[in-house]
């Protein structure tokens, strides 16, 4: 016997309304394939390109607490902003972000990253300089690689000093597609 879809959906909605969840997540369809997105009471905490739910759930539990539940309704706002972004109707996100647990340098880099405008790029070195440590371009690369909220924190806009794409947590093909979507010069 399985639980009827309607009953399952109603429980997941009630759980989200109850404010008892540490994190709610859903798998969202996008131009780049399915994305796992998770929110906490602080805001959007995670976007993952290759959702291996089991591993993602464990790391969400470590970040926010064990009460992690799939609850599509809780992701309505995230889903709608992502839809608009992929549809070319949105160039900036208005979502609160959950940045807990990140070291200070990482926060400085990510806050500089958030200022790189839609359709433009910055190099790893430029971002390091703006974050106050011009020689830390390699460390900036690591921060980009570990970005928990890609797309919304636009690490795809960070490229090598000669303009090459260098790398992307979600794969270079996705990085290129995001930059093309934004009309960035490649």
Partner 1 sequence: MMVAVASIPPFETFYAEHAAEVLALLRRRVGRERADDAFQETFLRALRAYDRLHHGAHLRAWVLTIATRVAIDTHRRAGEPTDELPDLAHSDGRPAYEELAFLTDTLPSKERAAVVLRYGYDLDYEQIAAALDSSAEAARQATSSGVRRLRRRIT
What positions carry a catalytic annotation? 155
Residues in the chain: 186
Among 42, 66, 138, 180, binds partner 1 (CB under 8 A): 66
The residue (of 41 and 173) whose beta carbon lies closer to partner 1 is 41
Rounded CA separation 105/82 (Å): 27
Rounded CA separation 157/155 (Å): 5
Asked whether the beta carbons of 95 and 44 are under 8 A apart, the reply is yes
Q: Which two tokens stand for residue 166?
A: 């260098």
Number of residues that bind partner 1 (CB under 8 A): 25
> Scanning residues 92 to 151, which ones bind partner 1 (CB under 8 A)?
none
Q: Which two tokens stand for residue 168?
A: 């992307």
Among 41, 50, 58, 164, binds partner 1 (CB under 8 A): 58
Kindly state the helix (H) or strand (E) to which residue 60 belongs, with its residue range: helix 53-64
Tell whether residue 67 is a contact of partner 1 (CB under 8 A). Answer: yes
Rounded CA separation 23/16 (Å): 9
Checking DSSP bridges between strand 23-28 and strand 43-48, what pairing results, if any?
unpaired
Min dist. Cβ of residue 18 to partner 1 (A): 6
Tell whether residue 175 is a contact of partner 1 (CB under 8 A). Answer: no
Min dist. Cβ of residue 66 to partner 1 (A): 6
> Scanning residues 9 to 48, which ones bind partner 1 (CB under 8 A)?
10-11, 14-15, 18, 20-22
Min dist. Cβ of residue 126 to partner 1 (A): 39
Q: Which two tokens stand for residue 44?
A: 């959007």
Task: Return residues touching partner 1 (CB under 8 A).
Answer: 1-3, 7-8, 10-11, 14-15, 18, 20-22, 53-54, 57-58, 60-61, 65-70
């Amino acid at each position: 016997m399985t639980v009827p879809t309607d009953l399952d959906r109603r429980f997941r909605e009630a759980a989200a309304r109850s404010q008892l969840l540490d994190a709610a997540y859903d798998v969202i369809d996008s131009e780049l394939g399915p994305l796992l997105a998770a929110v906490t009471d602080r805001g959007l905490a995670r976007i993952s390109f290759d959702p291996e739910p089991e591993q993602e759930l464990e790391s969400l539990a470590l970040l926010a607490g064990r009460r992690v539940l799939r609850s599509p309704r809780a992701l309505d706002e995230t889903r709608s902003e992502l839809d608009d972004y992929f549809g070319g109707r949105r160039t900036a996100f208005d979502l609160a972000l959950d940045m807990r647990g990140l070291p200070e340098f990482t926060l400085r880099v990510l806050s500089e990253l958030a200022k790189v405008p839609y359709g433009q790029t910055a190099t790893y070195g430029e971002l390091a300089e703006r974050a106050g440590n011009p020689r830390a371009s390699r460390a900036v690369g690591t921060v980009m690689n570990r970005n928990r909220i890609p797309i919304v924190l636009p690490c795809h806009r960070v490229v090598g000093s000669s303009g090459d794409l260098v790398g992307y947590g979600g794969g270079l093909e996705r990085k290129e597609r995001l930059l093309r979507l934004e009309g960035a010069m490649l």
